[in-house]
Chain A
Amino acid sequence: MTAGLPFNIPFLAVVALISIGLFIILTQRNLIKLVMGIVIMESGVNLFLVSLGYRTGGIVPIFTHAPEGVMVLPVPQALTLTSIVIGVATTALMLSLIMLTYRHTGDIDAEKSRRLKG
């Protein structure tokens, strides 16, 4: 995939996703958009973990009847699965708390729905 190309596309995609996610978290006041930014950043980090394991010309890491050649590393794939599941749980919790905040304050703007400051 990266052979023959002058730059490493997966890592460029990771940088793009993480910076877009970070930009959204820093500037968007709407709480739902903030959660979307966190999810985009999580996707960027998961893509980073998976693309770490790639070896050029590698094959699927399954031992049974494996042909000769270098295998892609399976450990980052396991780490990414764990991370995706944790991301789902975190997103579910964040979205349910936003729902409750809307019920209490009638607003999902980060500035207008805050009660605690100082």
Chain B
Amino acid sequence: MDSLVTHSSILAIAIPLLAAFIVPLVSKVGDKARNTVVIGALALAEFLVIILARDIYLNGLHVYTLGAAATDLTIPEHYMVPVRIILEVDAMSVFMGIITTTISLAGAIYSISFMKEETGGDRFYTLLLLLAVGMLGLVFTGDMFNFFVFLEILSISGAALAAFRTRFGDATEGGFKYIVISAVGALVVLFAVGILYSQYNLLSIAALAQAIQYTALDKIALALLVVALAMKLASVPLHMWAPDTYSVAPAGTTPMIYVASQACLYGLFRVLFSLYGVSLDTLTIGWVVIILGVLSMFVGVTMAVHQSDIKRLMAYHAISQSGYMLLGIGVGLAVLADPQALASYGREAISGGIFHIINNALYKGLLFLTAEALFFALGTRDLNKMGGMFRNMKYTAIFFIIGALAISGVPPFNGFTSKLMIYESVYNFSPVLAVIAMLVSILTLASFTKAFQSAFTGPALPQHDNVREVPKPMLIGMGILAVAIVFFSLFPSLVVDTIVTPATDALIDQAGYIGAVMGGA
């Protein structure tokens, strides 16, 4: 059991990768065998991430050196800097790891019934497992070039999944826009990594963090990294690819592509807090992040109210909710250099932002799955053609209500708790921002009322008389997320103390991050 915990970080990446390449062979045996291999690999990865999380909360940071004699031998003998690829997993990384594996598992279960209708199932599951590998590798790695490689893995598999239903013209367009945006963004990230390498000859994040001085070239690298990662996580004004891509992705994979964007959000925080840390001008960069967050919130929700396509509406809400996370953590970054403000409201802002990531992954995932269930049952995404579905699809309607109330920040759901933390702490920083955040919350509720009225309430339309409820695996996938939302709503303090507060502490503690690899040298 001990050696399983030591090797769990690399096994959690390697097992889905192996399964991804075995799936085409296994699917020759039959569909059931293939589904078993996929669900088994993802469930095993989730189990490994959970035991790794338990170990990190008890014993602190976890470092894994690939290819060394012992896994914590980060700096070889007679060397001053780490030379191997190091996976460095702290509480924030494992927090994102838990989100990633849960959403991948729910998405894979949801896709089982969907894939009965489609051909090319083995390629679909290969891409799905590769997307899960890319996300897990991105959040566990401690090396900048490895970060770039996993970023490209998740971009390519995400774009191929988004364009999977090639019989629809807009699916290929959505996938094409995603791969162009990802290719340009990843090139800029590689260029910034090259700039950092040219100055310090180091690729490991901890070693770079120890050596970095904030020279002019570092400032250029910072601007390039921040904006390229902001484009990958779809913050306004770089968000325009997101509605096109999220609306055409097939069932169960839209939450995964969305969580891939959240993994890039994690990458942004890793760069800002652990790579640059206190050597940056935190007030300026904090305000840049806050402005990106406020623009995302406001433009995202006003565009969402206007939409008539249900998945584009959900996609704009995804953009708007990312704005809340950027706002919370931007406020925390802006006061990072001021210890008194950090202790009084900065920590709470960062905790609110981080808690919002997991809440958002749950309820946004659930809402995407319900929108896809409507598309599966009715064959259309246009809200103008729907009506009266509450009679035919009761369970989907209940899941939609849970998700819509959670995203609007209505008590007692979990959206309210994380938004409360963000409102309270941001109000201490600047009252205007908190007012804008509350206004955006009201508009969110307005747009979901519109969507619920158009799709579910109203008279029974004659053309939808023979629409039945979606199949069981889809309901199970949605049910997992709904149960998690209800659990998070009833026990928020438990969740915050167990998962979120260690993540906040790990993010702020740059010295601990450096010390785990450099060994206090």
A touches B (Cβ under 8 A): yes
Q: Taking beta carbons and an 8 Å cutoff, which residues of A are in contact with B?
A: 18, 25, 31, 34, 38, 41-42, 45, 48-49, 52, 73, 75-76, 79, 82-83, 86, 89-90, 93-94, 97-98, 100-101, 104-105, 113-116, 118
Provide the residues of chain A in CB contact with B307, threshold 8 Å: 118
Closest to B198 in A: A52
B160 and A45 contact, CB distance less than 8 A: no
Q: Taking beta carbons and an 8 Å cutoff, which residues of B are in contact with A?
A: 145, 149, 152, 155-156, 159-160, 163, 166, 169-170, 172-176, 179-180, 182-184, 186-187, 190-191, 194, 197-198, 201, 203, 243-244, 247-248, 307, 312
Provide the residues of chain B in CB contact with A49, threshold 8 Å: 190, 194
Provide the residues of chain B in CB contact with A98, threshold 8 Å: 176
Option from B145, B174, B187, B198 in Cβ contact (under 8 Å) with A45:
B187
* Contact sample, A vs B, 23 pairs, CB 8 Å cutoff: A42-B183, A42-B187, A45-B190, A48-B191, A52-B194, A52-B197, A75-B203, A82-B149, A83-B190, A89-B152, A90-B152, A93-B160, A93-B179, A97-B163, A97-B175, A97-B179, A100-B166, A115-B170, A115-B173, A116-B244, A116-B248, A116-B312, A118-B307
Provide the residues of chain A in CB contact with B172, threshold 8 Å: 97, 100-101, 104
Q: In the docked arrangement, what's the CA distance between A104 and B197, Å? A: 44
- Taking the nearest CB of chain B, how far is it from the CB of A54, in angstroms? 11
Which 8 A-B pairs give the minimum distances between C-beta atoms? A104-B169, A97-B176, A100-B172, A116-B244, A115-B170, A86-B152, A52-B198, A90-B183
Provide the residues of chain A in CB contact with B312, threshold 8 Å: 116
- The total of Cβ contacts below 8 Å across the A-B interface reads 84
Provide the residues of chain A in CB contact with B243, threshold 8 Å: 116
B170 and A116 contact, CB distance less than 8 A: yes
- Taking the nearest CB of chain B, how far is it from the CB of A2, in angstroms? 15
Q: In the docked arrangement, what's the CA distance between A30 and B163, Å? A: 20
Q: In the docked arrangement, what's the CA distance between A81 and B389, Å? A: 54
Provide the residues of chain A in CB contact with B170, threshold 8 Å: 115-116
Q: In the docked arrangement, what's the CA distance between A78 and B152, Å? A: 16
Option from A38, A76, A79, A116 in Cβ contact (under 8 Å) with B180:
A38
- Taking the nearest CB of chain A, how far is it from the CB of B383, in angstroms? 14
Given contacts A38-B180, A38-B183, A86-B149, A93 and B169 within 8 Å (CB-CB): no
- Taking the nearest CB of chain B, how far is it from the CB of A94, in angstroms? 6
A101 and B194 contact, CB distance less than 8 A: no
Provide the residues of chain A in CB contact with B166, threshold 8 Å: 100
Q: In the docked arrangement, what's the CA distance between A102 and B244, Å? A: 18
Closest to A48 in B: B194
Q: A45-B187, A86-B156, A94-B176 are in contact. List 8 more A-B contacts (CB 8 A).
A: A25-B184, A42-B183, A52-B194, A73-B201, A76-B197, A82-B145, A86-B149, A90-B152
